[in-house]
Amino acid sequence: MSIRAVAFDLDDTLLRSDSTISDYTVDVLHRAAAQGVHIIPASGRTSVSMWKAIPRILDIGSCFVSCNGAEVWAPDRTLMMQELLPVSLAHEVARFAAERGIYCQTYAPDRFFYTIENEWASSYSQLSSLEGECVGDLTAFIRKPVTKLLMMDDPARVAHLLQEAKALFGDRASLTCSKPYFLECNPQRATKGAALGWCAKHFGFTMDELVCFGDSLNDVSMLQAAGTGVVVANARTDVKALGFTLCRSNDEDGVAHYIDEHILIH
């Protein structure tokens, strides 16, 4: 079956370790788009953070999946689809973090709001290219539904907290990790796989005609939903163990090489 769409995570998948995109990757993606392949970046980042990270391929995206699937945006930056976490549940998650002394933040598209000034806040601002605002108590701050809450701690603790959070909220929210030190809480129906299913219906391709690329737990839903799921060589061990197709690492332009070798018409 011919491939009509490709979707890919950004950090640690399409982006190199220094957060750049190579000239080769840009060229391959432009050639794929010129051949009629839908190009769909799908990230845990907010939409604004995504657009800042990939300016060289913004002109070829059919749409952009942000916040782990909570939002889908058109190229003209019109919101096409959105899932939201109810205020009451957002408060529960914020209290969960506060009671355990965990750094936590929530979002607007162009900024983030966090609980305490520390190295997590500063490192996230640098990674995301977003400005942050310390608001202290998130339970008091959150007054309307949100797309996402993010907690940060050392990887060993995050792994434990993920299981604890799933036991408490797993039947009402989507919980995952995009990096070992991130614990992310999204609306229950907000996954990359579900968002790409929405995109498939919107653009008229089937999931069998979709190839997805990822590296971490928040990518598993789309890797499983796609006709072909491909993981980069630097992916988490537990994600690689799920048996997806393997390509080169992010620093070796693995996504671009796979597209060039298996999808492009030469």
Interval 42-67 mean pLDDT? 97
pLDDT tens-place string over residues 154-191: 999 999 999 999 999 999 999 999 999 999 999 999 99
At residue 240, does pLDDT exceed 80? yes
Q: Which residues of the chain does CATH 3.30.1240.10 include?
A: 87-187
The pLDDT, as a whole number, for residue 109 is 87
Contact 223, 17 (CB under 8 A): no
At residue 1, does pLDDT exceed 70? no
Fold designation for 87-187: 3.30.1240
Q: Which residues of the chain does CATH 3.40.50.1000 include?
A: 5-82+190-262
What is the CATH architecture of 5-82+190-262?
3-Layer(aba) Sandwich (3.40)
At residue 257, does pLDDT exceed 80? yes
